[in-house]
Amino acid sequence: MKKVLLLAIAFVLFVFPAVSSAQVAITAVPFLQIEPDSRGAAMGNTGVAIADNAAAMFWNPAGLAFQRGNQVSITHSNWLANFNVSDLFYDYLVGKYYIEGIGTVGAHLTYLNLGEQVQTGEDSPDVISRFSSYELALGLSYGFEVNKNLALGTSLRVIYSSLASGTTVSQQKVNPGSSVGVDLAMLYKTDPFSIGGNEAKFSTGFNLSNIGPGMQYTDNAQKDPLPTLLRFGFAFDYDLDPEGFNSLTIAADVTKIMARKKEEITDQGGGVMDTSYVAAGPIEALFTSWDTFERFDGQKYVDVGLMQQFMVGGGLEYWYGAPRLFALRGGFYYEDPNNGDRKYITFGAGLRYNAFGVDFSYIKTLESDHPLANTLRFSVLLNF
């Protein structure tokens, strides 16, 4: 039953969203929205203005411009742990390499395994077929310095989604979906300044990610948009003592999905009869996704205003040691009840020893039966 439930969720949320105004907010390949590294996840899903390690390729590829040295990192999570399904997991592999005279380049692989599914008849429990479901994205990133304080960056990723390939739904053969996505990013860092005799720094940045054509899984289905995300935020770093042995980072990120537009349905005389909200093209959505939209909450239609569409995360990070040896992290993530309604506290820690590092994060949802409850991420990194 759990396998059947997962397949149903995949179809309803990822593959065949209805054309109605109630469902058009749903995008394809939502796995691209999963915050990959344990450090940022432990800080309430923040990182766009930090971006100081290889995971910058997700948060803000412009951050690569300020980095030197080489690093490889992998993150693993048993995804949606409350489903208690062993073959549902998420992996993120990333590496960066510094080239003298060119800058820092990086490569990243994102993989979400949805496990083995079964297809049964409409009126019979007999198994028609078995298939595996998974999604992946492979990409390259680059950041360059405009000057010592300002950097720009970009990423290009190829996206592949195989949810129910080879099966037939409503007499339509389901095929793998594929697309490409581009990120455009900026990061600004101030020069170090003094507060109370201790060094401080401030940074701010944004990342417009997953700009690209939509995904299509059947010949007659509409293309569902990629989860184009506008993420912006700030980070404040402060040394708690003159030697920098104890330091604190405060960060906040604000995120918005850019994927829809409003259409007016008119009569023959040009009068407005109704309004609907439909998927917009990747460029068009950047200009049309700022209106209030309407969605069905299961009982009635509700308006989701612009401010309700923003997802907010904030977090703290404390480091001990010079160089840094041990970190404690915490944060909070919030979505409006009419726009996702995810609310949870995050915790985590990190260790560094020579070239080796390890981080973990933990999600404590405010609802005990939430699918994200008790989600753990583990990241291992190696500098060379």
Residue 261 has a pLDDT of: 74
Tell me which architecture the domain covering 2-383 has in CATH: Beta Barrel (2.40)
CA 337 to chain CA mean position, Å: 19
pLDDT at 41 over 90: yes
Record the pTM.
0.87
Q: How far apart are CA 249 and CA 241, in angstroms?
A: 14
What is the tens place of the pLDDT at every residue in 304-342?
899 999 999 999 999 999 889 999 999 999 999 988 889
Q: How far apart are CA 302 and CA 150, in angstroms?
A: 41
CA 15 to chain CA mean position, Å: 19
Q: Across residues 40-64, what is the average pLDDT?
A: 97
DSSP string, 111-143: EEEEEEEEEE-SS---EEEEEEEEEEEEEEEEE
Q: How far apart are CA 217 and CA 258, in angstroms?
A: 21
CA 289 to chain CA mean position, Å: 18
Domain spans of the chain? 2-383
Q: Which two tokens stand for residue 175?
A: 């095929």
